[in-house]
Structure 1
Amino acid sequence: MSWRDELRPPSFRGVPFRIEANTRFGGRRGFTYEFAKSERSLDEDLGRRVTRVVVSAYVIGDDYTDQAEALEDALNREGGGTLILPTLGSMFMRPDAPFSRIETREQGGIARFEISFVDAGGSTSQLFTENTQAAANTAASTLSDDTDLSAGNDTDWL
């Protein structure tokens, strides 16, 4: 099967569009330590970068304004949605930056879009699990009370 047979029709949140180009960004995050008066360095791997995709899209036809409005509505909706691209497949993404809609006098019946997306796979609720400082303070206060009780008082030692 050739790559052409595997192309998928592009859409975001079920709203179809055509595509001029797409670019995916990824890789690893890192920090390089450089030491003064030394030829040495140390590299620290900080994990995978969040996947980003930039899409040059367009809608065309007699009803291009309706298509463009539908795409804008999908882009302005809160949260992530399913982005399908011809060669990259299906991804759960959200618009990352302001998008642009370009219409020109020379090219009637077409609206072009430049759209940046970022991976929306996680949620902030996964980042915050337990308030460890409050748990430590509670444990310390309980321990302090128990210590006072077990130590007795001055007359117990006479």
Structure 2
Amino acid sequence: MSWRDELRPPSFRGVLFHIEANTRFGGRRGFTYEFAKSERSSDEDLGRRVTRVAISAYVIGPDYLDQADDLEAALQREGAGLLVLSTMGQATMRCETYQRIETKDQGGLARFEMAFVRSQVGVAAPSGRENTQAAARAAAAQNATAAELSAGSDDDWS
């Protein structure tokens, strides 16, 4: 089976769009210690970076304004949603930023530059209502879970 047979229509929260380019960012976090008056240094690996995705997309056609409004509404909604990309698969992501671009020379077309970050699904913020030992233990357990989920893996894309 060729890669073309596996292409999926790209969408965010079920709103379809066309892709010009998409880029996935990752890597590892770290801190490099450089010692004064020395040629020595030390590097500390702090774990995987959170996965980010940048997309150049567009909507086109006689109803492009409705399509663009629908996509913009999906991008503005709170929380994470399902992002489906033609070649990368799908993952739960949150829109960090977007730009909607329309020009007088390209009628019937709206371009979008979108940036997404992998969602921390299942990780809730501590309530902060009670400052007891039980609440402290619960917060510590939650922080440990958040640390485990912080970066994710390539397996997050299906």
Shift of residue 49, structure 1, vs aligned partner: 0.5
Shift of residue 56, structure 1, vs aligned partner: 0.5
1:122 and 1:42, CA in 2 relative to 1: closer, same or farther beyond 3 A?
farther
Structure 2: state its 5+ residue gaps.
135-158
Instruction: Determine helix, strand or coil for the equivalent of 2:22.
Output: strand
Q: Does 1:22 align with 2:28?
A: no
1:52 equivalent in structure 2 = 52
d(CA) in 1 for partners of 2:42, 2:121? 30
d(CA) in 1 for partners of 2:120, 2:84? 15
Answer 1 or 2: which has greater helix percent: 1
1:13 equivalent in structure 2 = 13
What is the one-letter code of the residue matched to 1:105?
K
Moved over 6 A (4+): none
Q: What is the TM-score of this pair, normalised by structure 2? A: 0.78
d(CA) in 1 for partners of 2:73, 2:127? 34
2:110 equivalent in structure 1 = 111
* Identity across matched positions, percent: 67
d(CA) in 1 for partners of 2:43, 2:126? 28
Q: Does 1:100 align with 2:99?
A: yes
What is the one-letter code of the residue matched to 1:120?
S
Structure 1: state its 5+ residue gaps.
137-158
Counterparts of 1:31-110 in structure 2 under 5 Å? Answer: 31-97=31-97, 99-110=98-109
What is the one-letter code of the residue matched to 1:96?
E
d(CA) in 1 for partners of 2:127, 2:63? 48
**Structure number, greater radius of gyration:** 1
RMSD of the TM alignment (CA)? 2.1
What is the one-letter code of the residue matched to 2:118?
D
Q: What is the TM-score of this pair, normalised by structure 1? A: 0.78
1:102-132 CA distances to partner (integer Å, 9 max, x unpaired)?
111111110000011001133542x6499xx
Aligned pair count reads: 133
d(CA) in 1 for partners of 2:62, 2:8? 24
1:57 and 1:34, CA in 2 relative to 1: closer, same or farther beyond 3 A?
same
2:148 equivalent in structure 1 = none
